[in-house]
Amino acid sequence: MTGMTDLARPTRVLVVDDDPLQGAVISSLCRRLAYEPMFANCFQAAADQIVSGGFDFITIDLSLGDRDGVELLRLIADHGRAPRVIVISGCDRRILSATVRMARAAGIVDAVSLPKPIDLASLREALILKASNQGSLRPGPTQRPRPITSEDLLRGFERNELYPAFQPKVHLATGQVVGCEALARWDSPTFGAVAPDEFIPLAEQSGLIKSITLQMLRDSVRMARHFLELDRSFEVAVNLSATLLSDTSIPEEIEKELEEADVPAQALIIEVTESTAMTDIARAMDVLLRLRIKGVGISIDDFGTGYSSLAALARMPFSELKIDRSFVKECLTDADMWKVVSASVAIAHQYDMKAVAEGIEDAETWRALDELGCDIGQGYGFARAMRRDAFDEWCRHWNRQHSLAITSERHQA
């Protein structure tokens, strides 16, 4: 049956609205779906029900008399198991969109909005189409046997437990693999897979970041040398920590690694976040300019997530602009996000930079960004970051499939 999540109980819906008529309409639709609605006509009644939990859906009117629905969204987010939340309001569309973004940022990953007057067909669809992660628990912090120390990281580094994983970068117009981004990974026999946001700050604090970065760079350019034999335009991108942007010896260190690997500077892109680049502008300008003079590309990563994006572009010699995944992921469903992506592509081209979109997860987004003029894409829609051997195999398979597709199109034409 449509309304049964399991044999134990029916699907439960909390309807929050200070308009009894509106609440009755929504509740009636829920019953037709064989759901079990519970009505709350004020903030406190809704809060009491949310704390008790057990709902699969919650519909919320943003205006609740002297309180508002945003406060309820925070309360829902604080209770771990988040149902699908349907925000209903007569507010401006941009307010609705911003409310959904706020809910998702708070941890309610399955949140949608509907305008008033409510369209029952749209409401019915929202009540039936659950996201795959609906009702799932938000992941908590990884359980470790004990806190990771700088000594653990040093031992892991010395035992070669740290390595680069490579995520493909695809030319959106042609579908060809044009390069990759090297992402630092640590697989520890003691702590398991340690995320970069755990060990990179530790490396920066302990002074290990330079050694780790140069090792990632060394492994990455040697990998790139193999691909350069097949495609002279192949590029590998390596991230540079904020602490290293103030190290004026870095350009020579990078040049030395390129020379020893017999890889041209044009095959390397150094990625820095905009907040990183603006921390110490004078030192960063010194390092980045010297790298650009040597022929190394410079990418501004996570573009649009800070407060100094345009200032960074105007001052720094970037050659590539990476649009943050937080904008790309929802650009087809959120008009405000689409505007950010469109403007970012235009800005990149005005500065004679390549525009790279991170977070592409489906073919529709790929096609839309290609039509927009975005140059390169990354994301799970192509592949996750992989170890060297897996990346080699993926590229061979991808290029073979792509070549077959092009041949088929030409024959049909």
Q: Token pair for residue 282?
A: 């004078």
Going 301 to 305 to 308 to 309, the CA torsion angle's sign is positive
What is the edge-to-edge ordering of all strands in the sheet holding 84-89? 36-40, 12-16, 57-61, 84-89, 111-115
Q: What's CA 97's distance to the chain center, in Å?
A: 18
Contacts of 271 (CB under 8 A, 6+ apart): 181, 237, 238, 239, 240, 299, 301, 322
CB under 8 Å to 160, separation ≥6 — which residues? none
Report d(CA 377, CA 358) in Å as an integer: 6
Torsion of CA 322, 324, 325, 329, to 10 degrees: -100
DSSP category for residue 27 = H
The per-residue pLDDT for 115 is 86
Q: What is the DSSP string of 60-85?
A: EESEETTEEHHHHHHHHHTSSB--EE
Q: Which DSSP string do the residues of 340-403 spell out, in sequence order?
A: HHHHHHHHHHHTT-EEEE----SHHHHHHHHHHT--EE-STTT---B-HHHHHHHHHHHHHHHH
Based on its alpha-carbon atoms, the radius of gyration of the chain, rounded to whole angstroms, reads: 25
pTM of the predicted protein model: 0.72
Backbone angles phi, psi at 140, to 5 degrees: -90, 180
Number of neighbouring beta carbons within 10 Å of residue 266: 16
CA distances from 273 to 18, 87, 219, 299 (A): 45, 34, 22, 8
pLDDT of the chain, 413 residues: tens digit per residue: 344 444 456 789 999 988 888 888 999 999 888 899 999 988 888 888 888 778 889 998 887 776 777 888 888 888 766 788 998 888 877 788 888 888 887 778 788 888 888 888 888 888 886 533 443 334 444 567 788 999 999 999 999 999 999 999 999 999 999 999 999 999 999 999 999 989 999 999 999 999 999 999 999 999 999 999 989 999 999 999 888 988 999 999 999 999 999 999 999 999 998 666 666 677 888 899 999 999 999 998 878 665 556 777 777 889 999 999 989 998 998 888 999 999 999 999 999 999 999 999 999 999 999 999 999 999 999 999 999 999 999 998 998 877 555 445 544 54
Residue 117 phi/psi, 5° resolution?
-65, 140
Tokens for 164, please give them: 């680069």
Q: Which amino acid would we find at residue 387? A: R
Count of positions (residues) in the chain: 413
pLDDT (0 to 100) of residue 8? 53
- Domains annotated on the chain, with CATH: 12-128 (3.40.50.2300), 150-412 (3.20.20.450)
Q: What is the pLDDT of residue 34?
A: 87
Beta-strand relationship, 36-40 and 57-61: unpaired
